[in-house]
Amino acid sequence: MADYYETLGVERTATEEEIKRAYRKMSRKYHPDIAGPEYEDKFKEVNSAYEVLSDPDKRRMYDAGVDPNGPNGGGAGFGGSGAFDMGDIFSQFFTGAFGGGGEGPVPRTQPGRDTLASLAISLKTAVFGGTQDLEYSTFGVCEHCEGTGSEDRKPPVTCPQCHGTGHVQKVVRTMLGQMMTSAPCERCEGHGTIIEHPCTVCHGHGRVPTRRTIGVPVPAGVADRMRIRLAHQGEVGECGGEEGDLYVDIRVRRDRQYTRDGDDLHCWITVPMTWAVLGRETSIDTFDGAQTLEIPDGCQPGQSIELKGLGVTHLDGDGSRGDLVVHIDVQIPTKLNDRERKLIDEFGQLRKDGERSVDAQGSKPVPSQKKGFFSKIKDAFS
């Protein structure tokens, strides 16, 4: 039978308010949306424990040795599939008294829990991958006792109170009168053994809270909010138990120059009007170093130029990459001196711009007030 008091981390004498307060704390701690999907079963255990201990009738039944949520708990009432089986209740009460196959002692060596951490990386690291240090809180082996939990490193001895069974017999009052039941031994906490001289540092647990720094291998092409699993880098278990796993949530920091869209990178540059008219070869900085950019003659505002293979590495591992898309903005001069104005005017006369009439060339949809993804990014960088 599950120990609902232990699940909520309260004493068996806890008040209704203490149980409610403990439930709120544990439900926040193990909620899958916060702790991760791997804690879904633990979250269900917390809810199951609160369902029983928050109901006075169910709690009295549980204290009497019957789990209301168990197959013999009668949680569905006295009829149908949840029928109240007196034989099952007697077997619950007399398991300890007649040796009916109790749960046995709880092993001292327990596996460690998984740990969840967050790691912020640059966009460049997401493009190429790499190793980045992460510092996080967890439980590590107690160096004072070398994980044994014992001050003198001696193994535990048999508990003199339960004689190694991990349980003791108790007389409880029920609706059927006084009956014998089995409960975890308070002396050894159900382990069946005791550590005669507990470690003064870890108090017999074999582990202590610690800060650990490891190098996280970040795969090339990783995206924001992806989760990486590192086996055996979580909490060290009690008394030498196996380590849990470490789950790292990746957060990609915003880059000042480039924006990611899938495996493509986008940036915006502003060029003089003369460059757009006549064309120009220039250089731009990329994550791969300086690259030559050919601006074609007659380049229009908003035109884009693709640089193949300079984007984000594809996560499938074939080594190929997306593209770098350069969006062109043309700077129109505003304050012209007399000579500049005259030259522009002569240019217009050569092209006979003054002889042209401006007519509507067809209707276009009115721009929406709601800007698209790239418009917002362009405004932000402007």
Q: Which residues are annotated as a binding site for Zn(2+)?
A: 142, 145, 159, 162, 185, 188, 199, 202
Output the six-digit token pair for 335: 């304050």
Helix (H, G, I), strand (E, B) or coil at 217: strand
Which has the closest alpha carbon to 229: 244, 210, 212? 244
Contact 192, 105 (CB under 8 A): yes
- What's the CA gap between 160 and 76, in Å, rounded? 41
| Residues 6 or more apart in contact with residue 33 via CB below 8 angstroms | none
Which stretch of DSSP H or E encloses residue 94?
A: helix 86-98
Which stretch of DSSP H or E encloses residue 180?
A: strand 177-184
Which has the closest alpha carbon to 36: 93, 100, 113, 89? 113
In Å, how far are 46, 169, 192, 329 from 382, measured between CA atoms?
51, 77, 70, 11
Pairing, β 324-331 against β 264-272: parallel
- Extract the annotated binding site: 142, 145, 159, 162, 185, 188, 199, 202
